[in-house]
């Protein structure tokens, strides 16, 4: 739980979404490295911020909402690799990861 609190300090939006903390705890429990959890938290926080701006609940977001997120990612420098990496995090959330992920 302590690592989740630290992540919420870095990205306050995570504290507004209970499922986000649960999702990150599952990854931690599966033994992912702290830097990996940090990267997952950063990507998830960016997605949750977009959902907040668009006024949509993240668990009910549809393809159009994800398209807005993709557009925002593609507007950044060196976007292609980061876009696909971040989309894999969004695609997996809010479902709990399996031990094979």
pLDDT at 22: 87
Higher-confidence position of 85 and 29: 29
- Residue 31 — very low, low, confident or very high, per pLDDT cuts 50/70/90? very high
Give pTM, 2 decimals. 0.73
**DSSP, residue by residue, the chain:** -HHHHHHHHH-GGGGG-HHHHHHHHHHHHTT--HHHHHHHHHHHHHHHHHHHHHT--GGG--HHHHHHHHHHHHTSTTHHHHHHHHHHHHHH-SSPPPTT-
Q: How far apart are CA 90 and CA 66, in angstroms?
A: 9
| pLDDT tens profile 43-74 | 899 889 999 999 999 888 888 988 888 888 88
Percentage of the chain modeled with pLDDT above 70: 71
Average pLDDT over residues 28-41: 90
Determine contact, residues 82/73, Cβ cutoff 8 Å.
Answer: yes
């Amino acid at each position: 739980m302590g690592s989740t609190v630290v992540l919420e300090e870095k990205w306050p939006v995570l504290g507004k979404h209970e499922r986000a903390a649960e999702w990150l705890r599952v990854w931690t429990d599966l033994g992912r490295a702290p830097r990996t959890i940090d990267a997952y938290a950063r990507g998830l926080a960016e997605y949750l911020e977009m959902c907040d701006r668009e006024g949509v609940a993240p668990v009910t977001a549809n393809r159009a909402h994800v398209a807005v997120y993709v557009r925002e990612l593609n507007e950044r420098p060196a976007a292609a690799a980061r876009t696909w990496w971040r989309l894999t995090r969004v695609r997996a959330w809010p479902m709990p990861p399996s031990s094979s992920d």
